[in-house]
């Protein structure tokens, strides 16, 4: 059964720092991995989607990498800003469980201090 873990559960850094959020999964037979952002009281916003054949995806100051063989993904945020404060969740799809269900990590709560 696929399990997704995100470490750390919470992270607080000063504005301007570069930072890395981690996501690991137990079953490497995934179709893709997605990173989402959730603001308090809001739904989730998709940030980046990496297909299983890809190694990384970039969008603005965000870069997500995927290493299927080791079951790991990282989300790199460059030059962090207070507006980046949110909870970041990763989710994997596919594998032996289902071809449409997403399996989710519990998230990393990020606080960027001005």
Partner 1 sequence: GAGVSQSPSNKVTEKGKDVELRCDPISGHTALYWYRQSLGQGLEFLIYFQGNSAPDKSGLPSDRFSAERTGGSVSTLTIQRTQQEDSAVYLCASSPKGGWRSPLHFGNGTRLTVT
Could you tell me if 112 and 82 are in contact, meaning their C-beta atoms sit under 8 angstroms apart? yes
- What are the phi and psi torsion angles at 99 (to 5°)? -100, 5
Which residues make beta-bridge pairs with 19? 77
Using rule CB under 8 A, residue 49 touches partner 1: yes
Of 21, 86, 91, 112, which one interacts with partner 1 (CB under 8 A)? 91
What distance in Å separates the CA atoms of residue 12 and residue 51, rounded to the nearest whole number?
A: 30
Half-sphere exposure of 84 (CA within 13 A, CB side): 28
Least Å distance between CB 91 and partner 1? 7
Least Å distance between CB 49 and partner 1? 7
Using rule CB under 8 A, residue 104 touches partner 1: yes
In the shown chain, the binding pattern of residues 55 to 84 toward partner 1, with x for contact by CB under 8 A and - for none, equals ------------------------------
Per CB under 8 A, the segment of 14-22, 55-63, 66-74, 95-103 that binds partner 1 is: 95-103
What distance in Å separates the CA atoms of residue 25 and residue 16, rounded to the nearest whole number?
A: 29
**What does DSSP say about strands 72-77 and 4-7: parallel, antiparallel, or unpaired?**
unpaired
Of 107, 108, 110, 112, which one interacts with partner 1 (CB under 8 A)? 107
Using rule CB under 8 A, residue 4 touches partner 1: yes
């Amino acid at each position: 059964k696929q399990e997704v873990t995100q470490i750390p559960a919470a992270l607080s850094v000063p504005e301007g720092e570069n930072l890395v959020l981690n996501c690991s999964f137990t079953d490497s037979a995934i179709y893709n991995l997605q990173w989402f952002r959730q603001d308090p009281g809001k739904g989730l916003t998709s940030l980046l989607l990496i297909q299983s054949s890809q190694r990384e995806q970039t969008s603005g100051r965000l870069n997500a990498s995927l290493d299927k063989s080791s079951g790991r993904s990282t989300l790199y945020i460059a030059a962090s800003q207070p507006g980046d404060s949110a909870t970041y969740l990763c989710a994997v799809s596919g594998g032996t469980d289902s071809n449409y269900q997403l399996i989710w990590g519990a998230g990393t709560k990020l606080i960027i201090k001005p």
